[in-house]
Structure formats: structure tokens, C-alpha cells
Structure 1
């Protein structure tokens, strides 16, 4: 009986010790492999692994859309601080985009605001020098760059790829609108005008045509007629 009581007391002491240890406050962070890092770290943040490839097409946008800004999310691992925490990026292997021609990026002004866990890398994509007829395979690959004050969280998964083009192809569903809805022969400007009603989302139109939502199909038909009327009044814009 004495031995049982002694074991219970030892167990209680052990639990108390563990509880005390768990309340120790320390600065720093553990990496995925269990190593302790005394400084804060940064990493590209994406909900899914495949999100590390970002695709954008100017082709579905109206002609007055000349640039587009992609905001690449970066997450802080560690402790919030009262001052800005600066990080940088570098253009990595696999990049075919040309700075100033296909994109602009001010890599020297990137930082986490005070008390912020999230920051963004703004990359401005440029439409003017992209082909309208073929996919140029233009892509920009970026790596985060560490410093003495702010390290990099994942050295082996530290890459984001931005691909973009200016191609607009005739969709499969155009034949339905051309034959039965009076939209007429395909032109890029005509299609862009229709896409503008759906924020440039081609799949939305396809889903409506293939779906069973009569109201959505009715609105789509109405938009098609508005496009027809517009180009009847502005044939020089076809």
C-alpha cells in the first residue's frame, strides 16, 4: 500500500513539473524538422500546395485592362513585434518574364507592418507586350530571401510561380449562341464584351449553359442580346 501511495505522489509531482514547464515563455519558433530558431521567419502562404502556381489571363479582359496586380501572400512564423519586419524576394530559375517589359516589382519595399502576421508581394503584370494569338509561356518565379533579422521558414518549399498570357480563344459553347441566339461569328472584342458581365470568368458562362438554372440562362440570353445591339451600333469595334 505504501508503495502504491508513493507511486501516486511521484506521478503527481511529475504532472506538476510538466505543467510548469509548459508555461515557460520563450522567444523563437520551431521549424518543421524540430530545430529551434531564435528569430522570426517568413514563408509563402497558400491554402493548398497547388496554389503556389498563380495563373492570369488578360485575354478575357476588356481592351482597357492594361495591367493587373497579383498579391502574393507571405506569412510570419514567430512573434509579433512593434516595428516593421523587412523581407525581400529574388527572381528565380525558370523565369521567362522580362522586368519592365512583362512585369514590375519593387522588391526593396517589402515588409510586415507592426503587429502583422500577413504581408503581400505586389507584382504588376503588363499586357502590352504579350501576344494575342499564342501563349508566350511567360512566367515569373520568385523566392523569398532571408536576413539576419528575419529568416526563411521552408528552404525546400520556397517558390511561387506566376504565369500569364493575353490569349483569348473561341469557346466551345460559342456555336450555341451563334446559331440560336443571334450572336454571330466569333470575334475577340465581342467575346470580351460578353465576358465583362461575368467578371471575365469563362467557366461561369459554360456552367450556366450546361446547367438547369433557368433564371441564370435568361440573364445570359439578355446579355447576349445587349452585346448584339452594342456591336450593331458600333461595327467599327468588332
Structure 2
């Protein structure tokens, strides 16, 4: 049943691609494309914002998902990902580790992750963001899939940013309107940052709901705490 679901999904991908005039040719070997938001196939964003703020250590691994377009097979296939040097402002060895020549799409798999190692070694990350642009390339086994999803941008910084899923997960109702100062206090008081992806947040929704109530009470008892714009952070529950 699960395999049938993914086959149907692959066919739907092709149908939608034609309807959006986002066409590509691929043979029976299949094709691949980036899936920036693993939780929503219809999310066509091409960028991942990654901040080291609130995280320990000087390196982190970011998993970038690649999806298969077509049928799974009973043998491994190779996926090629390269750095687009013309559009990349990040520096290898300073902001990210060198990529492998090829990555493996396992047998019977419809998706896989590209592990991108990011570094927090550059003090400039506290003042500006650097961009790592990755392009999929055809391999001996796989062609390129949806043309609008063969490139992904990773924006690297050491500045707190609002989680990309804040609106989709209705987090205003749990943590109130976002501000960087509120974010900083959440990390200090909770001892952790918001999850990197929406799946983790959704899985632990009950815990984060309790955290939201705790932080609301904190801002109530310590009122007024001013945000980065000089405005008082109002309790929201």
C-alpha cells in the first residue's frame, strides 16, 4: 500500500509539473528534485534559513531532502549534488564542509537526505548571512526532475530567525507574535531552541504548548520586557 501511494504521488508530481508548465524529460530510470519542506510537497520554497543562534558547538549537519520522480527499483542509484560557485557566497572549510562526489539513493527508496555540514567558525555570521547554493546534476542513474526544484539555497547565519513554519503551525497562538528578544528569552528559560523543522514541532506539540504557557507566565511576571523595537512584549494567553 505504501509503495502504491508513492507511485501515485510520483504520477501526480508529473501531472502537476505539466500543468504548471514546469516540464522536464526523464526516462524510465527516474529523476530527482529537492524537497525543501519535507512536511509539504506543495511547498515550493527554494531556500533553507539556518541559524547557529542558540545551538551548541561549531558545526551542525543539515539534512536536505531529495525526492525521486518515478518508480523505486531494487538496487542503489547515485545522486549528484554540486556547489554553484557563481551564486555561493559561503566559503568551503569556513562555512561548510566539502560535498561528496555522489550520494546514494537506497534500493526501494523514494527519498533520501543529503547531509550538509555547516560551520560556525566565522565571527561575521553574527552580522551577516552567507549563501550556499546547491544544484542537482544528472548522474549515470538519474535525470533531473522538476526544473523549479533542482536548486536549493542554504542561508547560514548566527542570528536568531523566526522558524519558517511559525505561521503554518499557528505559533502566534502558543507563543504570541514573534520577536527576536522573545526568541532569546525562550532559549534561555527553556534551555532549547525551536525545532529545525515542522515535523519535530508537530510531534512534540503538547510539550511546546506547555512551554508556550510557561513563557506567557514568565513575561507576565516580569512585565515589561522590551523587544528589539522598544515595545513591551505583551502576555498572549
With structure 1 as the length reference, what TM-score do the two structures score? 0.58
Residue in 2 aligned with 1:199?
193
Query: Matches of residues 170-189 of structure 1 in structure 2 within 5 Å?
Result: none
Residue in 2 aligned with 1:103?
96
SS of structure 2 residue aligned to 1:69: strand
**Residue 88 of structure 1 pairs with residue 87 of structure 2:** no
Runs of 5+ consecutive residues of structure 1 not aligned to the other structure: 1-27, 178-189, 202-212, 224-238
87 and 193 in structure 1: CA distance in 2 versus 1, 3 angstrom threshold: closer
How far is 1:96 from its partner?
0.6
200 and 222 in structure 1: CA distance in 2 versus 1, 3 angstrom threshold: farther
- Contact 2:24 2:146 (8 Å CA) reproduced: no
How far is 1:191 from its partner?
5.4
131 and 222 in structure 1: CA distance in 2 versus 1, 3 angstrom threshold: farther
SS of structure 2 residue aligned to 1:199: coil
Query: Matches of residues 50-89 of structure 1 in structure 2 within 5 Å?
Result: 50=45, 52-61=46-55, 64-89=56-81
The CA RMSD over aligned residues, in Å, is 3.6
**Residue 42 of structure 1 pairs with residue 32 of structure 2:** yes
Runs of 5+ consecutive residues of structure 2 not aligned to the other structure: 1-9, 162-177, 196-211, 223-237
159 and 216 in structure 1: CA distance in 2 versus 1, 3 angstrom threshold: same
Residue in 2 aligned with 1:121?
114
- Contact 2:82 2:99 (8 Å CA) reproduced: no
- Contact 1:54 1:161 (8 Å CA) reproduced: yes
192 and 103 in structure 1: CA distance in 2 versus 1, 3 angstrom threshold: farther
How far is 1:85 from its partner?
0.6
Alignment length (residue pairs):
167
In structure 2, how many angstroms separate the alpha carbons of the residues matched to 1:195 and 1:139?
31
How far is 1:166 from its partner?
1.5
In structure 2, how many angstroms separate the alpha carbons of the residues matched to 1:200 and 1:58?
12
Of Structure 1 and Structure 2, which has the larger fraction of its residues in helix? 1
- Contact 2:33 2:66 (8 Å CA) reproduced: yes
Residue in 2 aligned with 1:166?
158
In structure 2, how many angstroms separate the alpha carbons of the residues matched to 1:45 and 1:74?
6
In structure 2, how many angstroms separate the alpha carbons of the residues matched to 1:214 and 1:40?
48
In structure 1, how many angstroms separate the alpha carbons of the residues matched to 2:125 and 2:113?
29
How far is 1:134 from its partner?
1.1
